[in-house]
Structures are given as C-alpha cells and as structure tokens.
Structure 1
Amino acid sequence: MSDNALSILAFAAYHRLVSGERVTSVIRKDGAGHEADPKGVEELTERGLATAGETEIELGSEAQEAVETLVTALRGTVGR
C-alpha cells in the first residue's frame, strides 16, 4: 500500500487514539483547506477498503482493522 493511502489510515489512527473509540470514517475535505490525499483516497476505494463521498471517507471493516493494528503497534513500540 502506498504512503498516500497509509496517510489516511494514520489520520484515522490519530482520531482513534484521541477519542478512544473505533473510527469508521474520516473527513475527506473540511472546508478550511485540509484535504485527504486524492491518490490515497483513490487507492483505498479501488482496493475496496473505503468508500468516499465529497467530504467524508467511510472505512470498510478491513481498513478499520488496519487502524486498530496501527494503534496496537504504536502502543507496543513507543516508549520501550
């Protein structure tokens, strides 16, 4: 998977860490100039990992599990 696509999962992992809750979607465009990487969005949708609307990216179950794996990996390696 490209860094473009991984950046979107990393953004979801950030929200998972901050909220403490499973993340099922992230903002694609916030109206303030911030936007998910278009190539990453395209890759995730082509792989069937997400569906994207104009302003939001819905993560499929496999992408949600990948986010959980990222969070677990971060917790297990940082600060040791």
Structure 2
Amino acid sequence: MTDMSGFSDEALAVFAFAAYHQLTSGQMVKSVVQQDGSGHKASDKAVEELQSRGFVEADGEAIHFTASGEKALQSFISGIRGGLNT
C-alpha cells in the first residue's frame, strides 16, 4: 500500500473526490476536474502538494494522476474498503 501519511486534508480531498467517482461509476479514474467554471475548484495548495510528490500533473482545468498517483488512489480506495470491515 502507498503511504498516505503526511498528506494535508486538502490533498486527501482530491483523492476522496476521485475515489467517489470511481466507486460510483465502477470505472478507473485517471483524472478529475480541477476547476469546473461553476465555482468548484481544487485547492491550489493541494495540487501543488500532489505535484511535488509526483502523484499528479495539472493544467488548470484537470488533475491527471500519474502512474504513482493512480497507485495511491487505488491504495486510498482499498483503505476505505478495509475500514468498512473494522
């Protein structure tokens, strides 16, 4: 599992958003919207944090998970599922 310790809540929220979409659609998520033009926007701090760790690349409109980011997202989802068994 990917070590998610030390991430800010804002960075974890990016993973939570992606996890929500993956869990509800049943399809692997490789990117999420960074800014939708309707007032919903990922934290700049979170994007910078995730970029600095090599988990995402962002272009202002979308946050694209790198291979490491995809692995971290799957680990995050596994953690959610594992937490349901406690």
Shared fold by TM > 0.5? Answer: yes
Partner residue of 1:66? Answer: 72
TM-score scaled by structure 2?
Answer: 0.83
Distance (whole Å) between structure 1 residues aligned to residue 12 and residue 19 of structure 2: 10
Identity %: 41
Encode CA deviations 1:2-50: one digit per residue, 9 max, x unaligned.
1121111111111110111111100000111000111000111111211
- Residue number among 24, 27, 34 corresponding to 1:28 in the alignment: 34
Superposed displacement of residue 77, structure 1: 2.2
SS of corresponding position for 2:64: strand
- The AA in structure 1 aligned to 2:15 is L
How many pairs align?
Answer: 80
TM-score scaled by structure 1?
Answer: 0.89
Moved over 2 A (4+): none
Q: Compute the RMSD of aligned alpha carbons.
A: 1.3
- The AA in structure 2 aligned to 1:18 is T
Query: Does residue 54 of structure 1 match 2:54?
Result: no
